Amino acid sequence: MRRSLPRQLLLGTLKLLAVLAILLWSLGPIALIVSSSFKPEGEIFAVPPRLTFQPTFQHYVSLWQHWPDFFKALGNSVIITALATVIAVFASLLAGYAYSRFRARWLAGSAFLLIVVRLIPPIVTTLPLFPVANALGLQDTHVLLAVLYATFFVSLGSFVMRAFIDQIPKEMDEAAAVDGAGRLTTLWRIIMPLAAQGMMAVAVFVAVYAWNEFLFAFVFTSTRAKTAPLVLAEVVGSFDGVEWGTLFAAATVQLLPVLLFVWITQKYLVAGLTAGATKG
């Protein structure tokens, strides 16, 4: 069915408009606060938003001066994110390997449990864990948050890893076994390099979650292990309607690293989403 030229033009224009609307929706809010964080005080509120302006770092300077806590919290976020990612990736690798290579009733049961616990809302666990964390002296520590974050992604992670390891032929394991390699050696030398893509996918999920998470950080930290989103929320809370610039600077610092990370690792993110979300 050949379409007439005017109709094609109309369709093309509509498509273009739709794409522009999608771009404005997705990037508009981000672009606005990032660019505004470099604008002089007066121009932040200019309507329509100015596209050209003399960039200034005054809001970053004021953030540095008034919120030294924020930069300490960024450090905490880095530590916690790294720790959570390492824990989740390796735990998922091991479990994914077991689920891919072995069959047993109890294994299937434990896999099913992984899916069921994913239905438990995080806020529900804060309640019983709060007194326990206090009793064990884990309240306000980096380790506690890292383990919590990792736990909420080992379930998805195990299934993503299983999907990736399923694609590695079993003969590779067997050949290694014939050469006298133990399970652990096989896993380390053969499986891990071939499943690196899956590990990256899991890492992206966990890292983004751990970097951005608010609820657990809010309940389980107070001073030592406070993360960046928490201090950003404090900036929002202390805010009297004048300091938008400082707020934008803080939001930009919290946001840009993870946005760049997601863009760089987009390939893995997409692969992981499709492998993990559809399977289990």
Ranges within 12-51 binding another protein (CB under 8 A): 15, 18-19, 22-23, 25-27, 29-30, 32-33, 36, 44-45, 47-49
Q: Which of 10, 17, 61, 115 binds another protein (CB under 8 A)?
A: 115
Distance CA 224, CA 158 (A): 31
CB of 68 to another protein, least distance (A): 19
* Of 78-86, 125-133, 173-181, 194-202: span binding another protein (CB under 8 A): 125-133
Please list the alpha-helical segments (H only) found in 102-169: 105-117, 122-135, 142-166
HSE-up (13 A, CA, CB side) for residue 248: 24
Q: Which stretch binds another protein (CB under 8 A): 58-66, 169-177, 191-199, 239-247?
A: 239-247
Which helix H or strand E contains 119, and what residues bound it? Answer: none
Minimal distance, residue 193 CB to another protein, in Å? 18
Stretch that binds another protein, among 63-71, 173-181, 188-196, 206-214 (CB under 8 A): 206-214
Q: Give CA angle at 199 (269, 146), nearest 5°.
A: 90
- Phi, psi at 57, each rounded to 5°: -105, 15
In the numeric block, which tokens belong to residue 242?
Answer: 């004048």
Per rule CB under 8 A, is residue 248 in the interface with another protein? yes
Of the candidates 64, 122, 138, 197, which one interacts with another protein according to CB under 8 A? 122
CA distances from 27 to 21, 62, 221 (A): 10, 26, 32
H helix intervals, the chain: 5-36, 58-66, 68-101, 105-117, 122-135, 142-166, 170-178, 183-186, 192-194, 196-212, 215-220, 228-237, 244-264, 266-278
- Pick one of 83, 84, 95, 202: the residue that binds another protein (CB under 8 A): 95
Interface positions, 214-233, toward another protein (CB under 8 A): 214-215, 219, 229, 232-233
Binders of another protein among 60-89, rule CB under 8 A? 87
Centre a 10 Å sphere on the Cβ of residue 95 and count the other Cβ atoms it contains. 21
**Closest distance to another protein from the beta carbon of 110 (Å):** 6
Least distance from another protein to the Cβ atom of residue 76, Å: 14
- For residues 170 and 193, is the Cβ–Cβ distance under 8 A? no
Select from 54-62, 68-76, 114-122, 162-170 the region that touches another protein (CB under 8 A).
114-122
Minimal distance, residue 55 CB to another protein, in Å: 19
Identity of the residue, 179 or 263, whose beta carbon is nearer to another protein in the bound complex: 263
Q: Which of 6, 121, 137, 180 binds another protein (CB under 8 A)?
A: 121
CA pair distance 211, 218, nearest whole angstrom: 13
